Structure 1
């Protein structure tokens, strides 16, 4: 009834102003709010990107492309760029790292759990020495998860600040699953899937996990 009366009133007003023309526009109360084009819209745009891509594209991509440590070492033996072109995605910018997906398990030989940036050093090949370091949060450093995905294209972002905010937003999405595992004792066997960035074939392996568990 209210909408009918509003329409009738609008038609009356249009009749009065017929010479100048009249257009009736009703606002859709359910329409999404417009995202600002500038820096004030960075977080909203990145949230929308992750709603579309995080579970549907990013997590499956890492899981599907993941090599085990032996496979990664074999690929790297042919050279970093050769391995990267076959198995990884390169971040934006000159000299950016190749980002390899990695899935394996091993024994924790050292840990640091009294820090906001907790880590566990893991022996995968059984020689008693650490082969890689896992980031366990809550502070997660780096852009490996963003840069592992070819569909996060720098040219689609307002600037490098918005691009950097996406990396932080992805790390924040991963954080709850990591910090939920409170105790990662030395001697425990852990299983993980994640991404490791490399700028050299013999570089240190620091893995940002998308999935992590203590299995024994």
Structure 2
């Protein structure tokens, strides 16, 4: 009897240790596993095109944006920051001029001009993502081209607003660049009609 109890405890211990070694992997929006980037993967980035890098990193960036976005209302008046930000507001204007299209959302007394057209200025998404650093890239050109690829990826995945959105309440997740209390660049990662 004592022998069975010892064997049972040993087996339970082995089972507990094997379960402790398991790692639950998050899934992206398509149900595919999101695997964190290894040092070897980071080294491979130098040999990839910006579009391929964008494809590889997007699930991780999207996950970080959803999990670590700060509320716009918590940002101080004199802060400088580049971050993923969540807010709700009313669409006050839809501007469409050739390749530059924007949706202006008023939230908490701020007018946020979301860039939603074919031309997106700035590095807000790239610089908001904690997993991207300049050291991972071949040169400054590749690093800059990654911004363009990430901006394009973001715009291609959102629901495209139009003039009918003016006056409606929207919930937004975006990468913002704020300098001297002015939002200089805002790139949406998600825009939904309605309140949170």
Scaled by the length of structure 2, what TM-score is found? Answer: 0.66
Residues 205 and 161 of structure 1: CA distance in aligned 2, closer, same or farther (over 3 Å): closer
CA contact (8 A) 1:99 1:147 kept: yes
The answer for the alignment partner of 2:50 in structure 1 is 46
Q: CA deviation at 1:131?
A: 2.9
The answer for the alignment partner of 1:38 in structure 2 is none
1:54-133 equivalence runs, <5 A: 54-55=58-59, 57-72=60-75, 76=76, 80=79, 98-125=81-108, 130-133=110-113
Q: Please, which runs of 5 or more residues in structure 1 have no aligned partner?
A: 1-40, 82-97
Q: CA deviation at 1:53?
A: 1.8
1:136-215 equivalence runs, <5 A: 136-178=116-158, 180-200=160-180, 202-204=181-183, 206-215=185-194
Q: Please, which runs of 5 or more residues in structure 2 have no aligned partner?
A: 1-44
Residues 205 and 108 of structure 1: CA distance in aligned 2, closer, same or farther (over 3 Å): farther
The answer for the alignment partner of 1:33 in structure 2 is none
Q: CA deviation at 1:138?
A: 2.3
Residues 211 and 184 of structure 1: CA distance in aligned 2, closer, same or farther (over 3 Å): farther
Deviations 1:118-145 (A, max 9, x none): 11221223xxx55322111222211110
Which stretches of structure 1, 4 residues or more, deviate above 6 A after TM superposition?
A: none
Output the aligned Cα RMSD.
Answer: 2.6
Residues 205 and 190 of structure 1: CA distance in aligned 2, closer, same or farther (over 3 Å): farther
CA contact (8 A) 1:120 1:184 kept: no
Tell me the matched-pair count. 151
The separation in 2 between residues aligned to 1:123 and 1:48, in whole angstroms, is 35
- Indicate the structure (1 or 2) with the bigger Cα radius of gyration: 1
The answer for the alignment partner of 1:134 in structure 2 is 114
Greater fraction strand: 2
